[in-house]
Structure formats: C-alpha cells, structure tokens
Amino acid sequence: MDERTFLDRLEHLICRALSEAEGDDRRCHWCDGVIISLELLGQDPPRLEGKAWVGGIPGERRGTQEDWPFVLWPDPSAIEGGRISWQKLADACEGTQWLQVDWEDKAMAVDLRADRVHGVDEESS
C-alpha cells in the first residue's frame, strides 16, 4: 500500500468516526482529505504532521471547509528502515478508538501506537 491509498482510506475512516461523534452539531462534520507535510520519524515518539480538511462547520455556508492541524502517531513497528509501512498503519486503523478530536481548538490526532487504547476520544466539549 502506498501513502496516497492509506490517506484515502484514513479519510473515509475519519468520516465514519466523525459521523458517530456525540451531539448533532458534531455528527455533521466530515473529512475531505488528509495531507502529511512533515515526517518526524526520528523523534520520540515518532509522528507525522499535516492538515485535515474538515467540512460541516456549524454556522458556515454549505460546502465550507477548514484545514485543521493533524498529527498521526504511528506504532514504532510500522517504521522500517526509517520509512513508514503504510500497510501496517492501515491495519492498525482497524481498532475503534484511534481518533482524537479537539473541537475547541479545531485539531485532529490519530494515535496508532499499540500501547494506546483505541477509540474516539473527544477532548473538548
């Protein structure tokens, strides 16, 4: 699996998770794409940073989207020879609690580390 295929799959998984968020004003959100602009694989913990395009913002005109800061923490087993195994990341998304949404600060995080509890974690009311 290549990066583009993984990001397309991730976009759809984020949409599904957002549709299950608590509150009608949150379930109307969707993800229209994710882009990774920075790979910090040598950091502790390793992470990928970029933007997620989020639509369905209450009070905005239909079709309006915002770019939200996005971070993905891969499990270290998905890093092989200083490169990401996109297939291993995709497999890790099979859990249910991997998406963290900060509604107040409009930011999104995907935590695929095996030592974390997987599921939707809503940080702000």
- Give the domain range for residue 27: 3-122
CB count, 10 Å around CB of 11? 17
Q: Which residue has the higher pLDDT, 16 or 110?
A: 110
pLDDT digits (tens, 9 = 90+) for 19-38: 877 766 666 788 899 999 99
CB count, 10 Å around CB of 26? 16
CA pair distance 110, 97, nearest whole angstrom: 9
pLDDT digits (tens, 9 = 90+) for 103-112: 889 999 999 9
Peptide bond before residue 45 is cis, with ω within 30 degrees of 0 = yes
Q: How many domains does the chain have?
A: 1
Q: What is the CA radius of gyration of the chain?
A: 14
